[in-house]
């Protein structure tokens, strides 16, 4: 079977989040492999098309009327004005598969053109939008009784999941970053789902970038990600307080990222270093200078930052919810524990430096077995399912 011609419509590309990180690596993979690939994405304010060999990119500007969803995430209500440009490139490219990453303006366009042009649609699930929606109702549920608030949040989560599932049913094949989500998607959409995990560049993220003095006794607790309610970042302040009560000293926090809860977190973690958003060598160095990654999110579908930390020789403490629990080997490369025991897990590593060093070595060893090429090889295998389904539908149509 020939290699399919893939038109990819990512929700985000230049931003700092898991979808954007995966998308940049997907484009890089297509370029390395010489695959026919068209990436249609948003960026800047102008329209630009580029082609290098088989790799094409169409970058479309968002309007000034875009609605800001987060500090670096927008939804452009006037994105429809790019319809002709998208159609023109799709017709020239002759896509076999259109791949979307969610119900953004890019995803809506991708789904529309797949339907109108008779091209099989693939969709990957990267964000638990239903859980995000429920947690962002805190401004309302916080004013209710505990029972009423919980009931409201469950209702919002169920409604958002129903709506998202109806959208994903438009696809012939689905992808998700962990088995748990794949099972959920197959159950709610009736579509086959394949793993689309995340990889890591183990040369870029490496203990070799550590610049701290070898004999430094302070244990640096790191966090990398958006500083917002769905990431459960308020637990970081609780961990600091519980460590102090337990008499655990000689620790400090290094916070990398930004978000709506940053002001409150700065107030709670007065002695922490807030580095803002870091990229490139500065990010690699920040990871390598951490001793433990404290990642309290319950909603991450995978957890790129957890894998990047492990590659940097940094064990991680994560929750038993979402994707990170599939990355961390409890007791070997970190701990998988609930919110009430986060501080206990961190304290164990602060007090037992020998065990911490052992985990650092095992974390690095685990990450060396992960690669982006293996991730995207599996995605292309999944495309074959979409094309087989399309071929079967065409044959049925011819017989009719």
The pLDDT, as a whole number, for residue 157 is 73
Sign of torsion over alpha carbons 197, 126, 221, 237: negative
pLDDT of residue 343: 97
pLDDT of residue 211: 96
Which residues face 253 on adjacent strands? 221
Q: Which residues of the chain carry a pLDDT beneath 70?
A: 1, 45, 69-72, 128-142, 156, 390-400
Which residue is listed with tokens 């484009």? 27
- Alpha helices, DSSP H, located in 277-371: 280-288, 304-311, 342-351, 353-367
Cβ pair 343, 246 in contact under 8 A: yes
Say what the pLDDT of residue 159 is.
78
pLDDT value of position 303: 87
Tell me the two tokens of residue 293: 């990654």
The torsion angle over the Cα atoms of residues 297, 298, 300 and 302, rounded to 10 degrees, is 100
User: CATH 3.40.50.2000 in the chain, residues?
Assistant: 6-199+371-399, 207-367
pTM of the model: 0.74
pLDDT attached to residue 399: 47
Output the furthest CA–CA distance in the chain (Å, rounded): 76
Distance, in Å, from the CA atom of 207 to the CA atom of 291, rounded to the nearest integer, reads: 11
> What CATH number was assigned to the domain covering residues 6-199+371-399?
3.40.50.2000
pLDDT score recorded for residue 188: 92
The CA distances from residue 274 to 151, 206, 251, 393, in Å, are 36, 22, 15, 54
Tokens of 102: 């969610």
Distance CA 118, CA 115 (A): 5
Dihedral sign (CA 30, 31, 35, 39): positive
State the pLDDT at residue 323: 87
CA distances from 218 to 145, 253, 254 (A): 42, 10, 12
Q: What is the CA radius of gyration of the chain?
A: 22
Give the per-residue pLDDT at 30. 96
Query: Architecture of domain 207-367 in CATH?
Result: 3-Layer(aba) Sandwich (3.40)
């Amino acid at each position: 079977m020939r290699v399919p011609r893939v038109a990819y419509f990512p929700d985000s590309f230049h931003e700092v989040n898991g979808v954007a990180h995966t998308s940049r690596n997907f484009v890089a993979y297509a370029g390395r492999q010489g695959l026919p690939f068209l990436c249609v994405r948003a960026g800047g304010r102008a329209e630009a098309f580029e082609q290098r060999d088989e790799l094409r990119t169409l970058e479309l500007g968002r309007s000034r009327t875009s609605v800001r969803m987060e500090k670096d995430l927008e939804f452009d209500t006037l994105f429809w004005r790019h319809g002709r440009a998208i159609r023109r490139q799709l017709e020239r490219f002759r896509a076999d598969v259109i791949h979307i990453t969610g119900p953004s303006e890019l995803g809506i366009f991708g789904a529309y053109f797949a339907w109108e042009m008779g091209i099989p649609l693939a969709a990957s699930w990267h964000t638990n939008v239903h859980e995000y929606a429920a947690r962002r109702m805190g401004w309302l549920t916080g004013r209710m009784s505990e029972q009423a608030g919980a009931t409201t949040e469950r209702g919002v989560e169920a409604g958002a999941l129903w709506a998202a599932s109806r959208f994903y049913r438009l696809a012939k094949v689905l992808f998700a970053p962990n088995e748990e989500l794949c099972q959920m998607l197959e159950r709610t959409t009736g579509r086959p789902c394949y793993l689309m995990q995340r990889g890591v560049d183990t040369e870029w993220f490496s203990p070799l970038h550590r610049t701290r003095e070898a004999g430094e006794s302070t244990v640096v607790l790191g966090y990398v990600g958006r500083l917002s309610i769905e990431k459960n970042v308020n637990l970081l302040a609780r961990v600091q307080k519980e460590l102090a009560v337990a008499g655990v000293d000689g620790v400090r926090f290094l916070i990398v990222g930004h978000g709506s809860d940053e002001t409150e977190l700065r107030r709670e973690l007065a002695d922490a270093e807030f580095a803002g958003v870091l990229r490139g060598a500065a990010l690699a160095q920040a990871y390598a200078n951490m001793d433990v990654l404290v990642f309290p999110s319950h909603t991450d579908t995978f957890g790129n930052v957890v894998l990047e930390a492990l590659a940097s020789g940094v064990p991680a403490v994560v929750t038993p919810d979402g994707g990170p629990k599939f990355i961390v080997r409890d007791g070997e490369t970190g701990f998988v524990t609930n919110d009430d025991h986060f501080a206990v897990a961190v304290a164990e590593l602060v007090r037992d430096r020998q065990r911490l060093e052992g985990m650092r070595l095992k974390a690095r060893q685990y990450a060396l077995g992960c690669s982006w090429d293996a991730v995207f090889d599996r995605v292309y295998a999944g495309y074959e399912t979409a094309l087989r389904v399309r071929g079967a539908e065409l044959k049925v149509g011819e017989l009719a």
